[in-house]
Amino acid sequence: MKPTARPFHRRFAIGTAALLAATAAIVVACGGGEPPPAAPAGKPVRVAEVVQAPVQTGLRAVGTLAPADEIRLSFKTGGVIASISVEQGEAIRSGQELAALAQEEIAAAVSQARALAEKAERDLERGRALYADEVATREQLEDLETARDVALASLRTAEFNARFSRIEAPADGIVLRKLAERGELVSPGQPVLVVGDTSGGWVVSAALSDRDVVRVLEGDVAEVTLDAYPGRTFSAKVVEMASAADPMTGTYEVKLSINAGDLRLVQGLVAKVEMVGASGSSVPVVPVHALLEADGSEAVVYVVARREADEVARRVAVRVGRLVGDRVEIVSGLEGGERLVTEGAPYLRDGDTVRIVGTG
């Protein structure tokens, strides 16, 4: 006898029940019948705190030593140099005579001016007598007074030029350069000597590239070593910075005042400079890789803040300063202790919920 076939819907129901029973058995075996936990909300990020750090520029340069003030000395009038009594590198004292012009022509000009002034004074005395006798007019007397005043002014000019036909040291210092020699004819104002005024201290002149000079500010401190005094370190401070590059080298000159105490220094000593930042100053710094959309001194960062039970990312515009190792100075926009997104920031939008997975 041929077996009776089961209806299709009955066979489907039995198969489905078997499948559900098998699935339930697997779930019970794996998890005791509980559903898997839900994935945590928020985008994963790493954070770092905004911290204060001393400025360490890490710049090194080589420079030369010179007096703080350089003075170019010249004669008031032109003439032939009769004497130059100093040589380059020689120490000088305030008031010391350094050079003089030949005095024949200058002395003659003074004598001529004095003679004219004396004649004008005599003419005036005669004019006054004639005016008293009503022989000369008031106008004539006034003309004689004017002539006398002009002659006296000419005498003062000649005496002034004679006084500055000699060059005297304006202060204690050193002769840096000698630009003329005895017997040369010089014009008025032509530099003859360049002296350094050591009463104002000493400076180191160093040349920095454009990438380095922007990392240095006036007032930054440095350490200086001199080849002439091995094993000794001198403190220094940036006192002057060039605003334009040297057209020949393309570098920028930076001057640092050096504190050498009573140590004997001479112009031209080779100095090695190491910048150590502004004296004792600390600035807020953040990792460089935390910056987004950096454009010059402007950049964007994401700060993590709490909103009720969630952590959210806030977009903040900041101004950046100098590099401090692998970190960058924050001039404005952040405060110490704030949490900054260091990894995952490119995928964030302002207000996104985040999940902190680590620091660094």
Q: Within 10 A of 154 (CB to CB), how many other CB atoms are there? A: 17
The answer to whether residue 237 is domain-embedded is yes
| pLDDT given at position 214 | 78
Predicted structure pTM score: 0.50
The answer to whether residue 12 is domain-embedded is no
12 contacts: CB under 8 Å, gap ≥ 6? none
pLDDT at 322 over 80: no
* Least confident window among 45-54, 190-199, 247-256: 45-54
Hunting for tokens 């003062």 — which residue is that? 156
* Least confident window among 57-71, 213-227, 319-333: 319-333
The answer to whether residues 146 and 289 belong to one domain is: no
| pLDDT given at position 86 | 93
**Going by DSSP bridges, is the β-strand pair 353-359/43-49 parallel, antiparallel, or unpaired?**
parallel
Please provide the average confidence, as pLDDT, over all residues in the chain: 83
pLDDT at 320 over 70: yes
- Cα 333 from chain centre: 24
* Least confident window among 151-155, 275-279, 351-355: 275-279
The answer to whether residue 1 is domain-embedded is no
Based on the structure, what is the number of domains in the chain?
Answer: 3
| pLDDT given at position 35 | 55
The answer to whether residues 225 and 337 belong to one domain is: no
Single-letter amino acid, residue 133: D
The burial class, CB within 10 Å (0-12 / 13-18 / 19+), for 23 is exposed
State the CATH number of the domain containing residue 73: 2.40.50.100
What domain range includes position 338? 45-53+282-359
| pLDDT given at position 327 | 81
pLDDT at 282 over 60: yes
The answer to whether residues 160 and 184 belong to one domain is: no
The answer to whether residue 204 is domain-embedded is yes
Q: Final residue of a domain: which of 257, 280, 303?
A: 280
Q: Which residues pair with 91 in a beta bridge?
A: 174
Mean pLDDT within 291-299: 84
Interhelix angle 138-163/104-132, nearest 10 degrees: 160
- Cα 335 from chain centre: 26
Report d(CA 242, CA 225) in Å as an integer.
23
The answer to whether residues 138 and 180 belong to one domain is: no
Q: Final residue of a domain: which of 118, 148, 164?
A: 164
The answer to whether residue 11 is domain-embedded is no
The answer to whether residues 330 and 223 belong to one domain is: no
pLDDT digits (tens, 9 = 90+) for 179-204: 999 999 999 999 999 998 877 788 99
pLDDT digits (tens, 9 = 90+) for 74-98: 999 999 999 999 998 888 999 999 9
The answer to whether residues 261 and 299 belong to one domain is: no
